[in-house]
Each structure stands twice: as structure tokens, then as C-alpha cells.
Amino acid sequence: MKRVLITGGAGFLGSHLCDRFIREGYHVIAMDNLITGDIRNIEHLFHLPNFEFYHHDVSKFIHVPGELDYILHFASPASPIDYLKIPIQTLKVGSLGIHNCLGLARVKGARVLIASTSEVYGDPTVHPQNEDYWGNVNPVGPRGVYDEAKRFQEAMTMAYHTYHGLETRIVRIFNTYGPRMRLNDGRVLPAFIGQALRGEDLTVFGDGSQTRSFCYVDDLVEGIYRLLLSDHPYPVNIGNPSEITIKEFGEEIIKLTGTSQKLVFKPLPQDDPKQRQPDITKAKAILGWEPQVARAEGLRITYDYFKSLPEEELYRAAYHREFVKK
């Protein structure tokens, strides 16, 4: 049985990856410090003999006994409300964390796949964004802690690939949604659905003309799985190229929820990207991958998940474990 370590395994994407690798017959080791992850996302796996959970901060030295075939580094705060509140931890997991994972991979002879992001493109001047675009990022702006952590992570990974000959894969993830997202994580989809369920007006930042492209989580996991097993060491965009403005998206959510709220407009945060749409030409050619789940279907599944949550979840503020400031 092949063994895979998934850092950030209790998070939104990490937990879905745990499920997928369990279904594929792997021995799965999930690692998470639970600063933004939730143990409830993986507790349904605890009874399985081929699942382990390590409560650990990947920014510190990591040791996993036994053989490892694959390491997927998905540990990181991933929404503005997270990385603006815990900026140092965000930078550390993208620097110290990836260094630890790559070092472990060298010792184990494992292949590493890292979760990068469309945020490496910053506020893009090229549209749609392809993997050859170097980005337009403000390194000292409020979003810089996340954007630059991911850019450094890519550079470190490629250095280990070229210098040490380590097998590496890099996925650039675009906006993704689905069950297990946190209602309070500040991203537009859970924010809109949470406001609709609470009977509040939907908050749009800016005039709503900025665009996003939303990929359902099952499609994303399929793309990641194919990339891991491919022989392509360079970055690959995985996302849904179906683009929509935030204003149009808010109107879709109101229609989906059958509520009577209206959209209210507030100033756009600094460095918020105006456009976000993946060019998935490489994913199609190299992986034979493209998204299969239509946005209407994915939103219905996600809305049903949020509706099933206890009422107190609707009103819970964003929560992070307290860490010593360093």
C-alpha cells in the first residue's frame, strides 16, 4: 500500500484529498496544526486502519516514520481574513514549511506536490492567466504575505528539483468551492451564502465588475491527482475557466437561495485582483483534464451543505488558535 502525507489535511482542500487517496487505496497520513483546519473534516476517517492524523505544525521539524511515496503540501491559510490576521504564520508555512517537506521528501525518496495559487499572478495584466505569466504582485501590500509565500514556495520547490533532482509537481489553484468551506473564512462564496442564510444583504466590494472563475472541489481534486501521477515538474493551472463578475455571482446566489436580499456595495480592498480566469490549455494537453461540474450543480450541492450546518455556525466569527507572536 503506497503511503501519502498530506499537510493541511484537516482543511477544506486537504480533507477532500484525504478522502480521494483513501478511495484510491493509499495509506493516508494527514498533518495539521488546526490553526484554520477543522478536525471534523476528517473525523469520519479516524476508524480506518490506513489513516493517521498528526497534530503538528509543518513549519517546525517534521518526522514521519516508515516509507513515504508522496507528499502533498497543502498547509496554509488561504483566505484574506486568515492571512491578514496571521501573516507571520502564513509566511512561515510557505517558507519553513515547504523546506521541511522537501527535506523529508529527499530522505524518503518521495515525490512532492505543492499547492500554489492563482494569487502568484497578483492583479494580472494578462487575461486569461497562463503559466508563463510572471504576475503583477505588490510584495509589501496586505496580500503580499500570501502571494509572496506561494511564489517563494514555487522557487524553493524548483530549486530542489533542479539541484537535488527531487521529483516535484506544482499546481496553481484558482477559486475553488464546495462542502467543508468555512462560512466565516471571508471568501466571496461562503460570505454570500452565509449572508443569505442569515437574512442579510450581500456585500459586494467595489462595483462588482471584478471577475472570478469558480471550480467545484471534486473537479479540482481530480486535476491534482492526475498532476501528481504525471511526469510534468512545472506549474499547471487547475481551475474552471467559466468567468463571472462578482455582481452577477451575487445575483446567482440570491436566486439560488430564494431570498429577497439586495446587493450592497463597499470599497474594494487594496490590491484585490480585478480579473481572475485560468488558461487551462496545459492541463487539457498534459493531464487530459477539464472541469466537469457546472456551476449551477456545484452551487446547489454547496448550498445544501451550508444549510445542513447547525445554526450557531452561521453566526460564528472567524476563529484561529492562539499562537505566540514571533
Annotated catalytic residues are 146
3-state helix, strand, coil in the chain (%, to 5): 40, 20, 40
* CA 51 – CA 110 distance, rounded (Å): 18
Other C-beta atoms closer than 10 Å to the C-beta of 225 total 18
Helices (H), 202-268: 217-228, 246-257
* Burial per residue of 265-294, b for 16 or more beta-carbon CB atoms within 10 angstroms, e otherwise: eeebeebebebbbbbbebbeeebebebebe
Please, what's the b/e burial string for 185-207 (b: 16 or more CB within 10 A of its CB; e: otherwise)? bbbbbbbbbbbbbeeeebebeee
Which bin fits 34, alpha (ψ -120 to 50), beta or left (φ > 0)?
A: left
Residue 277 near residue 291, CB atoms below 8 Å = no
